[in-house]
Amino acid sequence: MKMSLSDFRSKIIFASALVFACGCAGASSTSDDANSTGGDGGASATSSSGADGGAQSTGGGSSSDVCTWNACGGDPVGSWTYSSACTPVTETPGSCSGSTTGSRIYLTGTLNLGADGKAHVDTTTVQETIIYYPKECWAPGATKCEDFVQAPDFDLHCVNTATDCTCTIVDSMANGPSDDTFTNQDGHIVLSDGTDFTFCADAEHLLLIHDTGEETFLDAAQD
């Protein structure tokens, strides 16, 4: 089934957590199954993902220099991959003193911009929840985080030391492929419905700036 233009646009630009929560375009999934029950540090990791336009920060790039790179122009034609290097973690204190819960949402996948004006995008939305517990917050009798952090429906990975532990809970949703056409108009990528991106491209990186100011960073696909 051919994707709508709004679906295509939403898969190019990164969607912020607030936009995901509104359930605009695409599907949404929320779970309370990822939770911990350790001591006073009981915290929950809730996953919500979908696809829609609108973003505050994005994945991509390989350093802080790339994340603030703004030398616009160049040639956007090529194969590009989304990555998470420029996606910050939003961190909040946990209910147990010294514990924290962080989260970030980013895209993985590919964007292909052809010299013939055809565009193809195929992305997956990923949400990471990162929970940190000093040992004082562990459940009684626990010898590692996995003893009290539970995420049966998600990918759970914990790093344990003698004094603390950090668990990362990962949820992902495939957005699927879609196609559109674009034109390069004096340093702007314009989709067939008029959606406008200023772009900054070199041999290794592509920055797309939506007309709302939202930024998406990508890396050149490796052969």
Q: Tokens 């292909």, residue?
A: 112
In angstroms, what CA-CA distances link 219 with 62, 66, 69, 111, 193? 8, 10, 13, 10, 25
pLDDT of residue 222: 66
pLDDT of residue 122: 94
pLDDT of residue 110: 94
Please give the Cα distance from 30 to 53 (Å, whole number).
19
Please give the Cα distance from 105 to 219 (Å, whole number).
18
Of the candidates 100, 103, 190, 196, which has an alpha carbon nearest to the alpha carbon of residue 154? 103
pLDDT of residue 168: 96
Give pLDDT tens digits along the chain (223 positions): 334 444 555 555 432 222 222 222 222 233 333 444 444 433 333 333 222 332 233 333 333 445 665 557 889 999 999 877 777 888 999 989 999 999 998 889 999 999 999 999 999 999 999 999 999 999 999 999 999 999 999 999 999 999 999 999 999 999 989 999 999 988 889 999 998 888 888 888 888 888 777 778 888 886 5
Do strands 164-184 and 118-134 pair parallel, antiparallel, or not at all (unpaired)? antiparallel
> Which pair of structure tokens corresponds to residue 88?
């910050």
> Which pair of structure tokens corresponds to residue 111?
């964007």
pLDDT of residue 2: 39
> Which pair of structure tokens corresponds to residue 177?
């492929």
Please give the Cα distance from 93 to 101 (Å, whole number).
6
Of the candidates 135, 132, 62, 145, which has an alpha carbon nearest to the alpha carbon of residue 103? 132
Please give the Cα distance from 29 to 107 (Å, whole number).
16
pLDDT of residue 223: 55
In angstroms, what CA-CA distances link 37 with 28, 41, 44, 79, 173? 26, 7, 9, 45, 27
- Beta bridge pairs of residue 170: 128, 155
Please give the Cα distance from 105 to 49 (Å, whole number).
8
pLDDT of residue 148: 94
